Every structure is written in C-alpha cells, then in structure tokens.
Amino acid sequence: MELYNYIKSLHLIFVITWFAGLFYIVRLFVYHAEAKQKQEPEQSILIKQYQLMQYRLWYIITWPSAILASFFAYWMLFFTDAGQIWLTQPWMHVKLGFVFLLYLYHLKCHQIFLQLQKDEVKHTSGFFRLWNEGATIILFAVVFLVILKNAVNWIYGVIGIILFSVLLMFGYKFYKKIREKNQ
C-alpha cells in the first residue's frame, strides 16, 4: 500500500505540472497572436521571445509531465489491486474518456505549437482564450469524477464550469469593448 501511495503522489504531481503547462502554453499562444498585430521591431522581438518560451515550456515541462503522468496512471491501473477494481467501475470509464479528450487537446496544442514555431498564426487571440477553457473543462470533469466516484454527478460540476466560462467570455468581450472605446 505504501508503494501505491508513492505512485499515486507522483501521478498527481505530473498531472498538475501537465495542466500547468497546457494552461500556460495557450496563454503564450494568446500573446503570440497579439504580438503579430504589433509594429516592427517590437513584433519580431516579442515573437522570437514567445517562440523560445513556448519551446522550453512544451519540451521541458509539458511533454515530460504528460508522459510521466500517463506512466504512473498506467502503473496504478494495471499493476495495483485498486486499479484492477477501478477499471470495473463506470466512473472510471467516463474518466478515461475525458483523459482521451485531454490527449486530443494536447495533440491539437502541439499542432498549434508547431505552427507558431514557424510563425504561422492561424487563430486569433480570442480563439486561444476560448481554447484555453477546454483544458479547464476537462480538469473539472476529471476531478469531480475522481472525488465523487460517480458517473453522473460530475455533470453538475462541468455544467457549472461551462456557465462560468461563458460568463468569463462575456466579461472579456465587455472589457474589450470598453478598452477599444477608450483608445
């Protein structure tokens, strides 16, 4: 049981650093898209710095954290008694579905990262702000599932975060209108 707690602790640490990387990389995407609107030489200076920051974050923190979180999760699920029991429970199936969505989200972020490394900005800063909410929704869903261990009650938490995200977006749009009006 003591080994299991170490594995679980390491899994949680790397899940936290993985999400930190995902949250921050998209924030850097926002800044990169906004830098594209600047005049030279400011644009080139900012973009070069953001590309360096993105590269370091992505390959030194985010990818290693994703791999290690997955490694320790696999270990817990397939090489511990608790994991064998969890795999038979419906809430774990739903959780693994959200983990799959997280991998897809991560891979899409990787695709965007590669585009931005070539300075191909295909999305607006507003898109990236909205895109950042995807990881938040997945995080809320997984946390509620793990804590409540119920395949239905997590829905209330996810609905709450979606409504909160919508309110944030309205707040952002309102703030943007005020900021543009005062310029």
Binding site feature residues for heme: 11, 95
SS3 12: helix
Each residue of 60-96: b (16+ CB within 10 Å) or e? ebbbebbebbbebbebbbeebeebeebeeeebbebbb
Question: How many C-beta neighbours within 10 Å does residue 15 have?
Answer: 22
CA distances from 147 to 10, 31, 52, 120, 151 (A): 18, 35, 37, 41, 11
Closest by CA position to 173, among listed 136, 121, 130: 130
Closest by CA position to 146, among listed 136, 156, 154, 138: 154
User: How far apart are alpha carbons 40 and 45 in whole angstroms?
Assistant: 8
User: How far apart are alpha carbons 98 and 145 in whole angstroms?
Assistant: 10
